[in-house]
A and B are shown apart, each in its own frame.
Chain A
Amino acid sequence: MLAAGDPLFADGVDLTVVLIVIAKTVVVFGAMLVSVLLLIWFERKLVADMQARIGPNRAGKFGVLQTLADGIKLFFKEDFLPTQADRRVYRLAPYLATVPAFLSFAIVPIGGTVTIAGHQTRLQLADPPVGILFLLAMSSIAVYGVMLAGWSSGSKYPLLGAVRGSAQMVSYEAALGLSTVAVVLVTGSLLTSDIVAGQSGEGLFGIIPNWNVLRLGFIPFVVFFIAGTAESNRPPFDLVEAEQELVGGFHTEYSALRFALFFLAEFMNTITISAIMVTLFLGGPSGPGPDSGLIGALLPVFWFLLKVFAMLCVFVWLRATLPRFRYDRLMDLGWKKLIPLSLAWLLIQAAFLVDVKWGIVVFTGAAVMGVLLWRAMEVGHGATEHEAPAPPKFQEVR
């Protein structure tokens, strides 16, 4: 059984269809590059505002062109390939970091269905039958970019950064996958277009939207948000490039454009993870407004962009507010909190879907297990960890 995908391919593939595909690709590609340029500027400016600085203000009005200026500068910088580096892998790593960052955006629905040149198509690059798995696969490949870049540099700090980073990314990937399952559970489909369609109706009282973030009871959203931040190595989870400890992290040895590509990939990932969060939990392009005509086609795109922008603001805000995690705390949060929590929530969700009666049973069971686990942790802490040494007393200087 094939799930219904993009109606564009319903009558086979001919030249027009291929041209539409190429046109869609070019538009999305260009839009993504421009939005990365703007996001980097926006982030620098907003963080500067939060820290009572001015931020970039020289290139263009309000410094909007700052990123472009930086990018052009990096084109003219000499590129060093360290003699200790593994040349082939060192050259391959920027590709592995950048390409998945673009590709995972392909499954995000940007708007509704439109008709171009007699062909109906969704405003979405691709709608493969296993869209969600495709997303998870791409976020796994992104780990290779970090790992191979650090490993092939033939230098100590990049190696440490890469090993750390890949352990962090795989740890949070489990939590990311489990919180996505909760969305699949209520939708019953792996298609991103179905997930969005499932959230488009009206929810409670006709005012509150029928978004997954409400339907799933916040917890999968919160888990996904934290895990997504860690996956894209955004602060406060930017341990791969912790400047104070690892010089520049996994891309210490990279210079000029290859460095710029890692930078590009990082911000592209931020945009992609925001867009995916909007798709999975915040209703994607759905919002109030007319369904037909030009406005009906454009309004969903507007709602989508607005929601993505809101998510991006939250990411920038987090960066300006929170200090970086300590590595052991990071691992604790991933394995001891997020994964058990998302596993338990998944079962509760499933039980409520089957029957409310079973939902209450499983909820009680999960709550009991949680309390037991918490108690066990308390006991364990007392048994194994030494008490923190008393803070040194300062002598009064006379």
Chain B
Amino acid sequence: MKALTTLIAMSGFLREYLTVLVFGAAAVAMVGAMLGAGSLLRPKRAQLQKYISYESGVDPVGTGWSQSQIRYYLFGLLFVMFEVETVFIFPWAVRLEDLGLFGLVEMVVFIAILALGLLYAWRKGVLRWM
């Protein structure tokens, strides 16, 4: 109930998303309709060999699972750092005119600390792809 009242209070804010909702529903419906029509139209002649993974054309050896480099994971971590930072930067960018010099100094300090983090990762060789 409380959630509902909050929703109504927010409705002015959420109203703009009505179109997004309709548009998203249309997109989902289109993908669903295409796949549905396809499943009606296409032939189905089941043979066991057809359902082997294609991979590179020859019969696959072993499972599809393989280990991948740890570096992908490290880049993922770095990405989280930068995205969180972007979340902080956006509100600052909107309000900079009011904040003036104070806002500028704050952001220089903030980005300097962040750049230090990137430099550290750089120095440690995280950014080097072997």
Partner of B55, one of A171, A252, A328: A252
What are the residues of chain A within 8 A of B12 when measuring CB–CB? 2, 9
B91-120 CB contacts (< 8 Å) to partner A: 93-97, 100-101, 103-104, 107-108, 111, 114-115, 118
- Separation of A83 and B115 alpha carbons in the complex (Å): 47
What are the residues of chain A within 8 A of B78 when measuring CB–CB? 335
20 sample A-B contacts, Cβ–Cβ < 8 Å, listed by A number: A9-B15, A25-B19, A29-B30, A99-B27, A99-B31, A127-B16, A128-B17, A134-B20, A153-B53, A154-B64, A184-B93, A188-B94, A247-B55, A327-B129, A332-B127, A339-B82, A343-B111, A350-B103, A354-B103, A384-B125
Q: Known: A25-B26, A77-B42, A353-B96. Contact between A328 and B35, CB under 8 A?
A: no
- Separation of A252 and B127 alpha carbons in the complex (Å): 29
- Please give the residue numbers on chain B whose beta carbons come within 8 Å of chain A beta carbons, in ascending order: 12-13, 15-20, 22-24, 26-28, 30-31, 34-35, 37-39, 41-45, 50-57, 60, 63-66, 68, 71-72, 75-76, 78-79, 82-83, 86, 89-90, 93-97, 100-101, 103-104, 107-108, 111, 114-115, 118, 122, 125, 127-130
Query: When the two chains form their complex, are residues A125 and B16 in contact, meaning their CB atoms are under 8 A apart?
Result: no
- Separation of A157 and B38 alpha carbons in the complex (Å): 26
Residue from A170, A339, A346 whose CB has the most chain B CB atoms within 10 Å: A170
Name the distance in Å between A126's Cβ and chain B's nearest Cβ: 4
What are the residues of chain B within 8 A of A331 when measuring CB–CB? 75, 127, 129
Number of A-B contacts (CB under 8 A): 233
Q: Known: A261-B31, A350-B104. Contact between A126 and B20, CB under 8 A?
A: yes
A110-163 CB contacts (< 8 Å) to partner B: 125-129, 132-134, 136, 153-160, 163
What are the residues of chain B within 8 A of A102 when measuring CB–CB? 23-24, 26-27
What are the residues of chain A within 8 A of B51 when measuring CB–CB? 80-83
For residue A48, CB closer than 8 A to chain B, the reply is no
- Separation of A125 and B27 alpha carbons in the complex (Å): 14
Which segment of A55-63, A172-180, A207-215, A311-319 sits at the interface?
A: A172-180
Query: When the two chains form their complex, are residues B23 and A29 in contact, meaning their CB atoms are under 8 A apart?
Result: yes
Query: When the two chains form their complex, are residues B23 and A25 in contact, meaning their CB atoms are under 8 A apart?
Result: yes
For residue A6, CB closer than 8 A to chain B, the reply is yes
Q: Known: A127-B16, A177-B86, A257-B35. Contact between A83 and B52, CB under 8 A?
A: yes
Residue from A76, A77, A166, A177 whose CB has the most chain B CB atoms within 10 Å: A177
Partner of A95, one of B20, B31, B45: B31
Partner of B23, one of A28, A166, A181, A335: A28
Count of chain A residues near B, Cβ 8 A: 92
Name the distance in Å between A27's Cβ and chain B's nearest Cβ: 11
Query: When the two chains form their complex, are residues A82 and B127 in contact, meaning their CB atoms are under 8 A apart?
Result: no
**Given A84-B60, A335-B118; 15 other pairs, CB 8 A cutoff:** A75-B37, A83-B52, A98-B31, A125-B23, A126-B19, A153-B53, A154-B53, A160-B68, A164-B72, A253-B53, A328-B130, A332-B129, A340-B118, A354-B101, A358-B101
Name the distance in Å between A90's Cβ and chain B's nearest Cβ: 11
What are the residues of chain A within 8 A of B50 when measuring CB–CB? 78, 80
Query: When the two chains form their complex, are residues B97 and A99 in contact, meaning their CB atoms are under 8 A apart?
Result: no
